[in-house]
Amino acid sequence: MAKSINFVFLILALLAFAPLCLCHVNTFGGYLYPQFYDRSCPQAQQIVNSVVSKAVAREARMAASLVRLHFHDCFVKGCDASILLDSASGIISEKGSKPNKNSIRGLEVIDEIKSELEKQCPHTVSCADIMALAARDSTVLAGGPSWVVPLGRRDSKGASLSGSNNNIPAPNNTFQTILTKFKLQGLDIVDLVALSGSHTIGNARCVSFRQRLYNQSGNSKPDPTLDQSYAATLRTRCPKFGGDQNLSFLDLVSPTKFDNSYFKNLLSFKGLLSSDQILVTKNQVSFELVKKYAESNEVFFEQFAKSMVKMGNISPLTGFKGEIRSNCRKINA
Ligand code: HEM
Ligand SMILES: *[C@@H]1O[C@H](CO)[C@@H](O)[C@H](O)[C@H]1NC(C)=O
Ligand SMILES: *[C@@H]1O[C@H](CO)[C@@H](O)[C@H](O)[C@H]1NC(C)=O
Ligand SMILES: *[C@@H]1O[C@H](CO)[C@@H](O)[C@H](O)[C@H]1NC(C)=O
């Protein structure tokens, strides 16, 4: 009697969990691994590297733009190349979101890599993996650490404009809001501080930090946690009205070199974005981490590499989910 009840229970349990398991292909070996293309496209990584190298040689800033592209992809439905889709029937492009509009760059570089890969290994390498590799290569080219990139992501058949607007932190978000947005992606405060270190390269537009220069808290005063002579310099290129798209370096000391000067800047109140400076002014744990990375390039590099792999693992599509797009800008017909 007890046995037959157990048996019935087992069957019920199987019935209850079977559909769950079937739709979670990830549960059955759907993980990412570095050798994913070793047989199907052994030259994949070399192709990515060669196009990225040319692009960064043409324009140093491109390294920064490609790192950011991977971040803005991963925070919206996972690292699934949703950011690359143009608007089409049933798709509203993420490119028009608040954090992306007039801001994301590097799309043509991804196109160039994709078209080269389609020539040499048709329908094989995903756009999502291209972005993960391009982010790693860009970091290395700018003088930063290298890491082995787990591969095997597939591309989404849709985009999420609301996800792009809501999940990606804004530069004037509070520390708590930013940390919460990271935690929703499975990232912690260590990842937040280390990954913010990518602001050691690249630029920001006047609109992204103007509030700090003129009216930080609605009292018509600049942000008191911003070095006042640095603020004065920034105001010359970012007036109260106009010049919205004017650029400033995120790291004033070594704007195209991937190093730990970003963290040193924060300690002297020369972070460009409010979201940068609050890492030292609003939370003791993040402050300690900033000091640690400011003291040692090596310690920063090691954590940055780890956190990039972790970010790259956010909800990938694997197995039979998604597809390998032949054009990164649109889903396959
Ligand atoms: C912690 C929350 C973050 C906020 C609030 C933030 C915000 C921003 C903003 C406002 C810009 C300037 C955009 C513009 O004005 O056009 C920017 C640039 C950049 N961000 Fe972040 N970011 C964050 C985290 C990250 C992370 C995690 C990464 C990469 C792992 C990253 C990589 C970059 C890079 C490389 C640039 C320069 C891009 C270029 O020059 O094209 N950021 N970020
Ligand atoms: C943050 O910036 C946005 C865009 O400039 C603005 O609309 C919003 O009011 C700002 N939020 C705060 C709390 O200052
Ligand atoms: C500063 O911001 C506050 C609230 O956002 C606004 O009421 C005030 O008019 C602004 N002051 C200036 C000089 O723009
Ligand atoms: C934008 O920056 C340029 C210098 O690169 C400067 O000449 C121009 O005046 C700036 N625009 C505004 C509105 O300040």
Q: What is the dihedral of CA 48, 49, 53, 59, to 10 degrees?
A: 40
- Cross-strand partners of 327: 330
Look at the alpha carbons of 87, 329, 155, 123 in this order and tell me if their dihedral is positive or negative: positive
Q: Is the dihedral of CA 81, 118, 59, 142 positive or negative?
A: positive
pLDDT 10s digits, 196-222: 999 999 999 999 999 999 999 999 999
248 lines ligand 4 (CB under 6 A): no
CA angle 36, 80, 88 (to 5 degrees): 135
187 lines ligand 1 (CB under 6 A): no
Q: Determine contact, residues 153/73, Cβ cutoff 8 Å.
A: no
* pLDDT in the model for residue 219: 94
Kindly report the pTM of this predicted structure.
0.92
CATH number of 44-167: 1.10.520.10
> What pLDDT, on the 0 to 100 scale, is given for residue 182?
98
Which helix (H) or strand (E) covers residue 66, if one does? Answer: helix 61-74
Which of 18-22, 171-175, 307-311 is least confident?
Answer: 18-22
Residue 23 has pLDDT above 90, yes or no: no
Coil/strand/helix, residue 170:
coil
- Nearest residue by C-alpha to atom 14 in ligand 2: 172
Q: Which residues pair with 330 in a beta bridge?
A: 327
- Mean pLDDT for the stretch of residues 184-205: 98
Task: Determine contact, residues 233/226, Cβ cutoff 8 Å.
Answer: no
DSSP-based three-state secondary structure for 212: helix
- Residue 103 CA: which ligand 1 atom is closest? 16
- Domain residue spans of the chain: 44-167, 175-310
**Residues labelled as active-site residues:** 72
- Indicate if ligand 1 lies below 6 Å from the C-beta of 273: yes
Q: How far apart are CA 201 and CA 276, in angstroms?
A: 13
Q: Is 223 annotated as a binding residue?
A: no
Choosing from 214, 235, 237 the residue with most ligand 4 atoms within 8 A of its CB, the one to mutate for a pocket test is 237
The fraction of the chain above a pLDDT of 70, given in percent, is 91
For residue 30, what pLDDT band results from cuts at 50, 70 and 90?
Answer: confident
* pLDDT value at residue 25: 39
SS (H, E, C) 82-97: HHHCCCECCECCHHHC
The CB of 274 under 6 Å from ligand 1? The reply is no
Residues in the chain, total: 333
* Segment among 9-18, 24-33, 128-137 with least mean pLDDT: 9-18
Tell me if 333 sits within 8 A of 159, measured CB to CB. no
| Gap between the Cα atoms of 124 and 31, Å rounded | 17
Task: Tell me if the domain spanning 175-310 has CATH number 1.10.3720.10.
Answer: no
CA 91/CA 158 separation, integer angstroms = 6
Residue 12 pLDDT level (bands cut at 50, 70, 90):
very low
- Closest-lying ligand 4 atom to the alpha carbon of residue 243: 13
